[in-house]
Amino acid sequence: MIAALGLVVGIVLGLIFRPEVPVGLQPYLPIAIVAALDAVFGALRAYLDGIFDDKVFVISFLSNVVIAAGIVWLGDKLGVGGQLSTGIVVVLGIRIFSNVAAIRRHLFHA
Amino acid sequence: MSERTATRGTATLPARVTTPLLTLITQQSLDEDYETVARRRSVVVDPQAGTAPGDYAHVARRAGGVTGRVGRTSLAIALLFGLLIGVAVVQNSRNAPVRNATREELVTRINERHTQLATYQSRIATLRDDNGKLSSSYADLGSQLRATTSSVNALGEVTGFRQVSDAGLRIVVKDADGSSSGEVRDSDLNNLVNALWQSGASAISINGQRVTALSQPRNSGSVVRINDVSLSSPYVIHALGKPSDLQSRVFDTTSGAEFLSVVQQFGMPLSVQNVSDLTAPAAPNALLSLPYATTGDAADSIQEEQP
């Protein structure tokens, strides 16, 4: 509950202050969000499984974001940025879907 | 043979190598770290606990709520995640109009340029047509100009407004010495000129003054004037034409005979020479403007018709 509150407060802060993202970082923002989304759903599932751990969540979140953005950055340097970001979105998308399926089973027992 | 190899392969290789990629991703969708940490805790709390996946939950719960607690760092991460989403949304909505506008603007610009190009091309075609017409009319005008120029030259030779050179007769007549009645008068020169015209002269000049249809030797007092220029004795007359014809005919005409009788009566010195190369200069252009007639246009004639 308190985490959801944090999320909402974060969104509101972002919408209010409208910070300017440097042009160089702009292409990596969407992929970082997809990676973060994976970490968040994983954490939610772990929470419902009863094995949530603060430190693991923080580390998985930060490493997901950094690695996803880093891979895309490297891909951009090699000229395959588009393909690599597609690959990341596919893998993370599958993970998100299966995590959400597990969460659903927990919540609705179905 | 192949079945045996496959069996041996599955027996020796670990499961995560043989599992298809998509299945592996689906199976390991939850970070393994959560399970690892939970297993480590459960081992610490209860070494006899089962190790099968999914058992950690109740083990963890049995451990007394050590896990499943959301700490401050998680809150900070949630805040960061929210901030990330907010920033992305803002950035995207900020960029969207720019992208769309740019595209629409480009399309509009392309269309404008296409229209402009079509206009220019049709203009090129029109101008090319005009060019063709104008150059053909220029050629027409050029040939017209040549025809007009040659006719002007021909007319100039006939009317006396163009210098001509040809063989001819040079006649020199002087005032007789003594009385003033022995001076050459306009009527004498008129007689001579008329006689020369009758004998077939093509051009006549007196003391370098061309005789035209508008110029006539006239006395102003005792001085003979032609083309508004005063002449004085001796009078040198150039008559261009066939010299033999001119010489044989000029004094046979009535006015020629009259001139000759006056010359003989008063004893004026007269000499007539055949010259192979004579020049008659052009008459002054002042004579070209007619003193009584002016060029009119259509409006003038209409006004005259409707008084």
How does pLDDT run across B243-285, given as a tens digit for each residue?
888 888 888 889 899 988 988 888 888 888 888 888 888 888 8
Picking from B31, B58, B70, the nearest residue to A56 by CB comes out as: B31
> What three-state secondary structure class fits B203?
strand
Distance, CA of A26 to CA of A16 (rounded, Å) = 19
Burial bucket for residue B171 (CB in 10 Å: 0-12, 13-18, 19+): buried
Q: How many Cβ atoms are within 10 Å of B173's Cβ, its own excluded?
A: 23
How does pLDDT run across A65-110, given as a tens digit for each residue?
999 999 999 999 999 988 999 999 999 999 999 999 999 998 888 6
Cβ of B51 under 8 Å from any chain A Cβ? Answer: no
Contacts of A57 in chain B (CB under 8 A): 73-74, 77
Structure-block tokens of residue B177: 């010495």
Picking from A7, A14, A56, the nearest residue to B78 by CB comes out as: A7
Are B69 and A7 within 8 A, CB to CB?
no
Structure-model confidence comparison of residues A46 and B177, the more confident one? A46
Cβ of A60 under 8 Å from any chain B Cβ? Answer: yes
Burial per residue of B24-36, b for 16 or more beta-carbon CB atoms within 10 angstroms, e otherwise: ebbeebbbebbbe
Picking from B29, B31, B74, the nearest residue to A54 by CB comes out as: B74
AA letter at B282: A
pLDDT at position B93 is 84
Q: Does the reported pTM lie above 0.80?
A: no
Are A49 and B34 within 8 A, CB to CB?
yes
Q: Tell me: ipTM over 0.90.
A: no
Burial bucket for residue B227 (CB in 10 Å: 0-12, 13-18, 19+): buried
Distance, CA of A94 to CA of A100 (rounded, Å) = 10
> What three-state secondary structure class fits A91?
helix
Segments of chain B scoring below 50 in pLDDT: 1-7, 9, 49-53, 59-67
Could you tell me which chain B residue has the CA closest to the CA of A34? Answer: B85
Could you tell me which chain A residue has the CA closest to the CA of B35? Answer: A51
How far is B66 from chain A, CA to nearest CA, in Å? 9
